[in-house]
Structure 1
């Protein structure tokens, strides 16, 4: 049986998989739901398998090929050892390496070039490559980090809706729409928040940006605050001597008009997506025994 290379890009909203041959040519792709191994490891594991099986099916390959495949998985929540151990022990692949979802985004966007990638989606995290050494900023998770993320935007919107309901701040069309969605019931919002995952909050991010573009005061406030957090991190990255920045993720194009200009700093378009980066790393890993360790600098 041929040994295939599998790349996984698992984030807080969806999990994408691709299967490739030894040359790295992608043969099939698959997609499933959220794959944050920290907030919901059981579901993440199920979605990893579903996405990979879908990729094999699209390629016309038997699902039994998973057990002989070499895989690199870029997963949200990879910085918590217990979650990584739980997932690693249950993966269906012959060989697998779990890395940060931002590392596969870096590889996809810049290949082997130096520069920095800001991954702006349900979460936020930043990767920097300088002379072959990779370091990361942010990515500390929704509860204590991910400033500027879609999840934080959604959470902030619900907070503002409650403040408007209580008469502490003026109501705007955006907060009025959210209150109406929850039947104007603070208890309903609290119940939602009690069980909500980052992706649940993140679904409100697009509405925040749309409202901000229309001049809604709460939308503008939330986006400006979030963009300020991102700008602060980008400034710290530039201060390290980085001259090429790349913005990726579902919120990247929405943030561009709200971010500060940086004369002399190139904003590069990504060469490829994170899934392509994961496949490239899987091809590299399959040529190494043991798997390569991606050299990371201390933050």
Structure 2
């Protein structure tokens, strides 16, 4: 049985929701972690019902991990940072959802990642993982660059690098493009050549293409001209994103995502040297967002 609500019994829940999984952390009023939980895909762009179910599952798991029950959601102030809600129509749907929490505050996954990276409201982040984008929030003003999704955008990401790799390999296979070491690397990884590569990648997801990004970095580090061109193009794009974000004068900027640790070394030196270490995980940024949003609302009501 969970504890019964009391005057000072508010709990804060942070949700980091992406296209493949949902992570939740539950803290008390002193910001002590009580429990954590996971759920399934939670990007409403790929299904609103599934996203909401994943959010509830992750929060229920965090409550159970804390020794509480799902009934304790009525004590929870939830901060949701979700992929996909940068689209106004999806934001409205999720924001108006009849949620089970005491209060709910919604923003994007980029926003909570930025808050967590700097442990404050102001800052900037560049994400280079399976996808890519840039985000800055300074004194109430936000700027998002990219976040167009694969294959429409996501330059400088793992998925983009993988796609560029495959296109180059197919041109090489047909004798219509420069020879590249990527051809043999891809053949080994996919166990396919030429048109068989296309068959092997039929229905492939962005995450499948991202698995080929390490091949591109390996070939580039060995001096392969085609691989070098791909890495430089991605790094130059992310450098431009960084320069645009710095125009808002954020106090700090961090790079996030699995590709970021490798591609930052290929970015222009003055930009790479200004990157700061991310201080915390995105779900803790969602907790901060929930806490500050709830406090502001309480003050507004009191006035």
Task: For 1:46 and 1:199, locate their aligned partners in 2 and report how far apart those are by CA, in whole Å.
Answer: 23
* Cα shift at 1:174: 3.1
- Name the residue aligned to 1:159: 167
The two structures have a TM-score, normalised by structure 1, of: 0.81
Name stretches of at least 5 consecutive residues in structure 2 with no aligned partner. none
Matched, 1:56 2:56: no
- Name the residue aligned to 2:36: 29
RMSD: 3.1
Name stretches of at least 5 consecutive residues in structure 1 with no aligned partner. 293-299
The match for 2:118 among 100, 110, 113 is 110
Q: Is the deviation greater in 184-193 or in 218-227? A: 184-193
Partner SS state of residue 141, structure 1: coil
> Contact 1:13 / 1:122 at 8 angstroms: preserved in 2?
no
- Name the residue aligned to 2:132: 124
* Cα shift at 1:264: 11
- Name the residue aligned to 1:189: 198
The two structures have a TM-score, normalised by structure 2, of: 0.80
Partner SS state of residue 116, structure 1: strand
Label 1:78 to 1:188 Cα distance change in 2 as closer, same or farther (>3 A): same
Structure possessing the higher radius of gyration over alpha carbons: 2
The match for 1:174 among 160, 178, 182 is 182
> Contact 1:8 / 1:71 at 8 angstroms: preserved in 2?
yes
Matched, 1:204 2:203: no
Task: For 1:91 and 1:191, locate their aligned partners in 2 and report how far apart those are by CA, in whole Å.
Answer: 42
* Cα shift at 1:99: 0.9
- Name the residue aligned to 2:106: 98
Label 1:132 to 1:82 Cα distance change in 2 as closer, same or farther (>3 A): closer
Label 1:270 to 1:186 Cα distance change in 2 as closer, same or farther (>3 A): same
Task: For 2:50 and 2:169, locate their aligned partners in 1 and report how far apart those are by CA, in whole Å.
Answer: 30
Q: Count the aligned residue pairs.
A: 291
Partner SS state of residue 49, structure 1: helix
